């Protein structure tokens, strides 16, 4: 875990987002540090999705401030957020199941000999990059021409994460990455998150309903309810009976932690 004196990669101060008379976020403040997993927890409708959409440029806050590497920043579009290093991996992953691993990795950013639509794709170079970047975070791909639809759910998550990192993400926002996956695939994704964390320079925001998964990989926690922060702290701070109940108990977590080791 980083020093308390380290500078956050991304920080919000009193973020408010209103949709007409409805207040979705009501003064949310948080700090996300490099080399850490920051779990964002809360029920449906708590404001988690609105917060990550504000951080990724989809929504513009009604008031409050966003800082990236200490500099106040305003995003007018997702491209603005991407350009300063915020990569968001949504549940749908934005992958094309019928095309290859490499094609999905470079989607819209293909490497070519020559310019314009008639350039020749540098397929061998792109294959090597896709294979190597996925290997860095724990997934070995034998055939980069493999259709993405034949990959496991965990492998597809890893592809989307590796793509975001390769194209400059310093802050990686993961929106419910283990939802709708079987237990083995969930473990694949958690191992990928740990690999990304070990790179040391990337800040990860993990949005999840699964308190056990958060307990396994997170360094910091922010709990949101009805658009407000109702609790926060580090993994060292948040121990005791109340947090054990909130995070789904110790025995099951211990068994899974051995598997992750």
* Per-position pLDDT tens, the chain of length 261: 665 567 899 999 999 999 999 999 999 999 999 999 999 988 888 899 999 999 999 999 999 999 999 999 999 999 999 999 999 998 877 788 899 999 999 988 888 887 766 678 899 999 999 999 999 998 888 899 999 999 988 888 899 999 999 999 999 999 999 887 888 889 989 999 999 999 999 999 999 888 788 888 999 999 888 899 988 888 888 764 444 444 332 335 556 666 776
Task: Say what the pLDDT of residue 45 is.
Answer: 84
Q: Which of 211, 234, 191 is nearest to 33 (CA)?
A: 234
Sign of CA dihedral 253, 162, 166, 260: positive
| Residues 6+ positions from 224 with CB-CB distance below 8 Å | 28, 40, 41, 42, 46, 47, 48, 51, 230
Res 247: pLDDT: 38
- The structure tokens listed for 30 are 């948080």
Closest of 202, 52, 154, 69 to residue 219, by C-alpha:
202
Report the distance separating Cα 8 and Cα 175, nearest Å.
20
Reading the block at residue 111, the tokens are 């490497």
Q: Specify whether the CB–CB gap between 178 and 198 falls below 8 A.
A: no
Phi, psi of 195 (to 5 degrees): -65, -45
**pLDDT of 198:** 92
Q: Kindly tell me the sign of the dihedral angle through the C-alpha atoms of 92, 96, 97, 102.
A: negative
Fold (topology level) of 10-95+169-260: Rossmann fold (3.40.50)
pTM of the model: 0.85
Q: What is the predicted pLDDT for the residue at 257?
A: 66
With residue 197 as reference, give the H or E element that holds it.
helix 183-199
Strand locations in 20-114 (E): 22-32, 37-41, 63-68, 71-73, 86-89, 112-113
**Sheet with 22-32, edge to edge strand ranges:** 22-32, 10-19, 63-68, 71-73
pLDDT attached to residue 111: 84
In this structure, are residues 185 and 152 in contact, taking their beta carbons and an 8 Å threshold? yes
Q: Give the rounded distance of the alpha carbon of 21 from its chain centre.
A: 30
Which residues is 71 bridged to in the sheet? Answer: 68
């Amino acid at each position: 875990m980083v020093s308390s004196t380290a500078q956050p990669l991304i920080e919000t101060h009193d973020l408010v987002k209103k949709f007409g008379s409805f207040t979705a976020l009501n003064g949310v403040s948080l700090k996300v540090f490099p080399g850490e997993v920051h779990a964002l927890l809360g029920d449906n409708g708590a404001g988690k999705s609105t917060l990550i959409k504000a951080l990724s440029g989809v929504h513009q806050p009604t008031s409050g401030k966003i800082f990236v590497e200490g500099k106040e920043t305003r995003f007018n579009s997702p491209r603005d957020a991407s350009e300063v290093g915020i990569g968001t991996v949504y549940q749908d992953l934005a992958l094309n199941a019928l095309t290859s691993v490499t094609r999905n990795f470079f989607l819209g950013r293909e490497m070519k000999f020559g310019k314009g639509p008639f350039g020749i794709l540098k397929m061998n170079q792109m294959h090597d990059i896709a294979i190597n970047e996925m290997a860095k975070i724990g997934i070995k791909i034998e055939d980069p021409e493999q259709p993405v639809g034949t990959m496991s759910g965990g492998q597809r998550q890893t592809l989307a994460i590796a793509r975001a990192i390769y194209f400059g993400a310093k802050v990686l926002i993961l929106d419910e990455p283990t939802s709708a996956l079987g237990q083995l695939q969930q473990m694949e994704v958690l191992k990928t998150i740990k690999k990304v964390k070990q790179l040391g320079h990337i800040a990860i925001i993990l949005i999840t309903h699964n308190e056990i998964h958060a307990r396994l990989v997170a360094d910091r926690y922010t709990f949101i309810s009805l658009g407000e922060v109702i609790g926060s702290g580090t993994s060292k701070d948040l121990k005791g009976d109340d947090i054990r109940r909130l995070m789904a108990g110790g025995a099951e977590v211990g068994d899974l932690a051995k598997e992750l080791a």
